[in-house]
A and B are shown apart, each in its own frame.
Chain A
């Protein structure tokens, strides 16, 4: 290209092209669409959507700490991508839940108290070293992949649509975690030891993911009963750990009641950081 042709681009750079920061039209089911066109869910369905939204929100909040700190640049991009996907899932679920109570995604994220959050304990665990983050991603993404696959059959159209969009993304998270689990499990003695340690510290929070609640009884055909995912999850995880030269650790399960709003000591700090600015300016728009 010659100089004069390029001079023309000086004044109109970049108008027509995509970037990650642009909302692409046609990318189905954005939170904004749910807010605008979504059908108001029942109280129970909203409670269920809130659980799924809180899991993704808190995990995304945790993961976002990795941005600019990853072991290599490619991983900064990958972890950023995963963080962004999870935030997108959270926004959709929270927006949908909020319709039942005339609340926005931001009301729910920024102006609820700790005991009102319904997330699982595993998502609030510390990032630790890269291996801990990868094992947590493996355990949670495998769970979410099974969950969203089943939720696509939900009688509730909005839940089914959110699941259909999210399942493709958590499939990538799962794949990313599997690749790293194998690489680090079989890499060096040091990396294998770190992965064994990561499994030991995260395994106590597994049972909580698969615990049925009365809410699931009330939402037959709408919600996925967590206990039904356990066998497939166990089998998948065992397969990955076997391939990575790792084993399911022999550790007791922790008593967790995240779904009832009882959280670990981490949660207060996570929320304090996430909510500080929004709460300093209540009612402001950003």
Chain B
């Protein structure tokens, strides 16, 4: 038997993986699209760097003042912010960070120890982790300047806190990955995720609410909440720092030990999943082959049971109606898409929650709700949350894009079917928002309602005009409910961001101008004029879409049919 090569050690394997990542990046620059992606990602990374640096300055200065002024209990607030960012950022950051399926390494002769170590080291390079560690470093510097004597203890606590975060993030990721491997649990997680995101939007109003009800902080459930916080890792880290500064060594040591116990527990849970992965766990969701049915008969029966009813839309050509129906069925099966329908309504409720406080008599939202401008604001939000669907409209079609290219229909009909569906969704959302605004506040003035619908018409047409072109030029396969592994095309993100800034900015400017001159009615012809221009743009983009799709068909099929 031929002699086998020696298994490489962990450092060499880390070097190999780093080299692999570098080669993947280098090869992605071979074509124009890859280079554009790199430039777009570079711009997004620059923005991210700004956030990291800005956050670092904030955490450094905040820590310095909290320690210098003796407000040590507030340090837990900072550790909580970093904890939340570290854990939640990766979900959002899927759009800018290249992801790598770690399980691919299992085909190589890795020992479990190496696999485990590599998995943890990999977590260190997550952008959220890098930013959080920079902020922890800034906290340490701020604390060190304010109280040099505590610098050693603070370093110990913050390193333990960073390790806990790292283990927790990896642990959560591998467990969620297991749940995401199956479509049904993936969708449930997706739904929960969006509920959490919506829940976060209540934090601001809630904080403001309690700032003006300080008594609630002294009694009731707030102290209980703080006690719970102190029993959790971020609270424990903050408490260890606080008690170390006091100094109360015994209590500080106890909090630190509990923090270490948490870290150990997370590491153990991470180990369970990684061990299962290492053993070759198969998370395939493919069903077992169907039981063998009877052999096909020579003479087949006519329709024994009716197939799914087919939607007929009067006046709409059959292919457009078919695509509309397909989109509807997709949406009905997608928790996130259904939730997307009601998110604007929830936003209106958040506005309502924020503006119904007695002290909020003069702020922007209170003013907006009194004057009826809350309606166009909520509608602007409606446009924003549809970016994924408008600017990457084939994202969820997967290999179905081949069918669109093979079918004897014009590509513009396919795109129009999708646009028609989103238009109906937008209209339903707008009506829902109007109903909720009318019920929660008071019916917005008719002139604002008409102007808002005119603005919605212009915004939707403009978004479709740009979005259709981007969908064909920079398609990216996405799956409902799968957040971390997928990313939007960088160019799409950048253009969508700029387009929304321009559209909503322009809309706000028109409304502000009309409001300033006390002639809201002026906004209607202006928005209608914009809508005509947008309609010309939409028509122009539709006119080019067939040729564009034909010239970009390789990109479309390569991107959307790619097996992830």
A binds B: no
Chain A residues packing against B (C-beta within 8 Å): none
